[in-house]
Amino acid sequence: MKTKFSFNLFGSFRSMEQFMQQLPYAVLLTDQSGRIIECNEALLRVTGYTRQEIVGHHIHVIIPCQGTMEQLYREWTNKEWESPLEVEWQDKSGMTGRTNVMVLVQDAEDPLYLVHLLNLAKDSNDSLPQRLVTQLASDIYLGIVVLDRAAKIIEISQMACRLLGVERFNVLNQHIDKAFEGIPEEHRLIKRELLKGIKLQNKAMSWTNNSQRYELLVNSNTLHDEAGRIVGAYVLFKDVTNLRSFEQKIERSDRLAMIGQIAAGTAHEIRNPLTSIKGFLQLFLQSFGESGMERERTYTEIMLTEINRINSLVSEFLLLSKQRDVQYQIVDLNTVFEEILPIVNSEALLHGIDVQYLPAGQLPMVVGDTELLKQVFLNICKNGIEAMEKEGVLSISHHIDVEGDKISIDIHDTGPGIPVYVIDKIFDPFFTTKEEGTGLGLSVCQKIIHDLGGQIRVSSKGYGTSFHILLPYI
């Protein structure tokens, strides 16, 4: 005879559930009347029931003994450890057997009973292939669903659960129509048709659950018995979302390269006639001036300004698409900033923006092209000023990067920042969110800095944006 054997629900009911799931044999938790409150996966495995068919029902569906829970507990405590209590149990199909039990009672006024069916281990009869399936089912990268002939889910991997938005424990032994109740048949990944012999081989499919879109490679086939009859089906899927987005990136850069080539060709074709138009307009300007035709002279002036705009745009196209010869020279960054700061300041003044130039000591020398470097810093400062619109601070500072081999020029603005869905596109040619923008500014900057062996990094977390231009220094 055992002395009083009770348990406490230390912690939450949830931790109790987790504890039950970890047990290798079948367990039931009931209330005083014998109503089942929870069970574990091992119990579903050995009985063939779904969780819904067990929870809320009387323990008699599994252990058809006649007494109350209190009596079952007493019976167990009256036994010696050496001769454990044995009871009859039955599975869903009505097959019966015997198992040793251990019964614990909760130390509470309205106690719960924890019934351990010690011989009903979930994998006591597992063959090696079955163990392989179990192992694969916990593989976080592989989606597995195995159906029996009646379209009940008899195995489903963790990854498949995550992707399909279900809980393994809730859908085991469940019919697929019930398990995926909310999803219309035609949109299901796991369809009844699978049992009709439909075979998929590495079929690329997209699947969207509530939170995310996945790109999958799906394989499926039917399972047969010795007589060749269909006894079930399986679906295997692999998440290739990353691979697909990599492919899309390559496709995109191919497309961009093509645009670049077309732009380069077109740019030349535009530039030549522009040169002659510009020449003739300059002649007009002179004659209109001499003959006092003021209105015509003004129009011609406007035309010339516009032509210059087209010309500088075309130069940017060419710079982007063609390998321009960089004029390598030793550049003093202090001079570069001395020369661009008046331009930045006047632009900032127009927008009511403060510019703070905070060089911590002398800037080092770098190897590069003065004019191109000016273009880079100006472009980035201009973007910052445009982002802030009417007020804010543009600060320019520098530091030596962690590896110590590059100088980082840091340009920070207090604008609205760059949304995450935009940030990886800002260096693409022609990407702009501005009505008047060409979207070439940053792509030109990136090309120039890469040609000089440097890098441009951007960080923007909700508010404000920082650009870091890293350059090797001497």
Ligand X SMILES: Nc1ncnc2c1ncn2[C@@H]1O[C@H](COP(=O)(O)OP(=O)(O)OP(=O)(O)O)[C@@H](O)[C@H]1O
Residues that bind ligand X (CB under 6 A): 379, 383-384, 387, 413, 415, 418, 422, 426, 431-434, 437-443, 465
Which residue number, 173 or 375, has a Cβ lying nearer to Mg ion?
375
Closer to ligand X by Cβ: residue 119 or 311? 311
440, interface contact from ligand X, Mg ion, none, CB < 5-8 Å by kind: ligand X
CA atoms within 13 A on the CB side of 183: 18
N-term to C-term CA, the chain = 87
- Give the shortest CB-433-to-ligand X separation in angstroms: 3
Distance CA 444, CA 377 (A): 11
CB nearer ligand X, residue 2 or residue 434: 434
Least spacing, CB of residue 460 vs ligand X, in Å = 7
Rounded to a whole number of angstroms, the minimum distance from the CB of residue 316 to Mg ion is: 11
Q: CB of 433 within 8 A of CB of 366?
A: no
Task: Specify burial of residue 321 (Cβ count, 10 A radius: 0-12, 13-18, 19+).
Answer: buried
- Would you say 144 or 385 has its CB closer to Mg ion? 385
Contact partner, 465, from ligand X, Mg ion, none, Cβ < 5-8 Å per class: ligand X
Min separation Cβ 266 and ligand X, Å: 18
**Residue of closest CB approach to ligand X:** 441
Q: Which residues pair with 364 in a beta bridge?
A: none
| Interaction partner, residue 396 (Mg ion, ligand X, none; CB < 5-8 Å by kind) | none
The listed partner (Mg ion, ligand X, none) that binds 415, CB under 5 to 8 Å by sort, is ligand X
Q: Where are the alpha helices (DSSP H) in 228-356?
A: 241-290, 294-321, 333-350
Closest CB 50 distance from Mg ion, rounded Å: 60
Q: Select from Mg ion, ligand X, none the partner in contact with residue 209, using the beta carbon and a kind-dependent cut-off of 5 to 8 Å.
A: none
Give how far Cα 3 sits from Cα of 118, 182, 302, Å: 20, 50, 104
The listed partner (ligand X, Mg ion, none) that binds 384, CB under 5 to 8 Å by sort, is ligand X
Query: Whose Cβ is closer to ligand X: residue 8's or residue 312's?
Result: 312
CB distance 102 to 76 below 8 Å: yes
Nearest by Cα to 409 from 454, 450, 339, 467: 467
Nearer to Mg ion, 47 or 375 (CB): 375
Q: Decide whether 383 or 408 has the Cβ nearer to Mg ion.
A: 383
β pairing state of 6-7 and 96-106: parallel
Among 232, 441, 454, 464, which residue sits at the site for Mg ion (rule: CB under 5 A)?
A: 441
Q: Which residues contact 24 (CB under 8 A, 6 or more apart)?
A: 42, 121, 122, 123
356-415 residues in contact with Mg ion (CB under 5 A) are: 383
Q: What is the DSSP secondary structure assignment for residue 61, as one 8-state letter?
A: G
Contact indicator for 31, 112 with CB cutoff of 8 Å:
yes
Rounded CA separation 86/92 (Å): 20
* Residues engaged in binding Mg ion (CB under 5 A): 383, 441
